[in-house]
Amino acid sequence: MKKVHTALIFLSRHDEYFHKKDEYFSRLEEKINIFEDFHLHHATLLKKAQEVENLIHKIKGFIRFISVNELLVGIYKSKHLIMDLIATHFKKRFPLYNTMTFNEDLNSGCLCLAVNDDINKHEFHISKKYSIRPLIAERMYKSPSLLFFQVKNKEIFYDEFLPYIFNKLNPSSPNEDDIDESKRKFETYWNTFYDSQNIESRTNYKYAMKNFTKKQLLKQLGIKSIEAQRVYKKVKKNQKTLYDF
């Protein structure tokens, strides 16, 4: 029964079955009533739930943060309502950092305040273009640390919302050049390390493609490898596509 319960929770995040609102917990009971003949759909439901679960797992690994003082910003894409699950993972991981994860597909995300930070210190301004409020599950706490935000479109997030949060949380935030430089520095570090780990005699694109999309693979391995593209075409025919991050 426990497994069925988790399946339902994940299912409620599946956009096919649910409206794109953040009030999914309250609707969970309705969902259970819908599936009275649950045992009939058992396998398919579990499979669907597993899909969402796998996507969450993948995003947790593939998301990369840009660090600005004590704020970490990460961008990903997903059509499911999983913003809070991603955010709570990084809340546990970086308790002393403010983390912001933004879902580009749904134009919404979560801002997670650090343990020693108090929400009552900041008064978040809500405009027509964006809204920010504590997550429903967190409203009972005096100082909720998980905030849900929604913006009108991507451009507003990058041009207005992100700088606004920067200034709100770090009054003395560094200029953009510094951020870019540290980002580039770690990107080159990472690429060097990544290349050094490859054992050439074991190269196996077919296996690598189980977990990568074409975009990611070419980004990691370089477009030069024509062989990779050739194998990709063969393998990809029968495979489901994952979302690019």
The CA–CA distances, whole Å, from 37 to 6, 13, 40, 232 equal 17, 20, 6, 41
Residue recorded with tokens 């074409």: 214
Count how many residues are written for the chain. 245
Q: Is 125 one of the binding residues for another protein (CB under 8 A)?
A: no
Q: Is 243 one of the binding residues for another protein (CB under 8 A)?
A: no
Among the residue ranges 90-98, 119-127, 139-147, 171-179, the one whose residues contact another protein (CB under 8 A): 90-98
Instruction: Please name the residues in contact with 157: beta carbons below 8 A apart, sequence gap of 6 or more.
Output: 102, 107, 130, 151
Torsion angle, alpha carbons of 86, 88, 93, 99, to 10? 80
Q: Which is nearer to another protein, 74 or 168 (CB)?
A: 74
C-beta separation of 12 from 18 below 8 A: yes
Q: Is 102 one of the binding residues for another protein (CB under 8 A)?
A: no
Q: Is 66 one of the binding residues for another protein (CB under 8 A)?
A: yes
Q: What span, in angstroms and rounded, lies between the C-alpha atoms of 107 and 122?
A: 23
Among the residue ranges 7-15, 79-87, 129-137, 183-191, the one whose residues contact another protein (CB under 8 A): 183-191
Q: Which is nearer to another protein, 56 or 137 (CB)?
A: 56
Contact residue for another protein among 78, 80, 83, 97 (CB under 8 A): 97
Among the residue ranges 11-19, 123-131, 136-144, 192-200, the one whose residues contact another protein (CB under 8 A): 192-200
Q: Is 238 one of the binding residues for another protein (CB under 8 A)?
A: no
Q: Which is nearer to another protein, 83 or 221 (CB)?
A: 221
H or E segment and range at residue 34: helix 28-34
Among the residue ranges 7-15, 137-145, 185-193, 233-241, the one whose residues contact another protein (CB under 8 A): 185-193
C-beta separation of 112 from 79 below 8 A: no
Q: What is the DSSP string of 50-83?
A: HHHHHHHHHHHHH--EEEETTEEEEEE--SSS-H
Which residues are at the interface with another protein (CB under 8 A)? 43, 57, 60-67, 72, 74, 89-90, 92-97, 186, 188-190, 192-199, 201-208, 210-212, 220-221
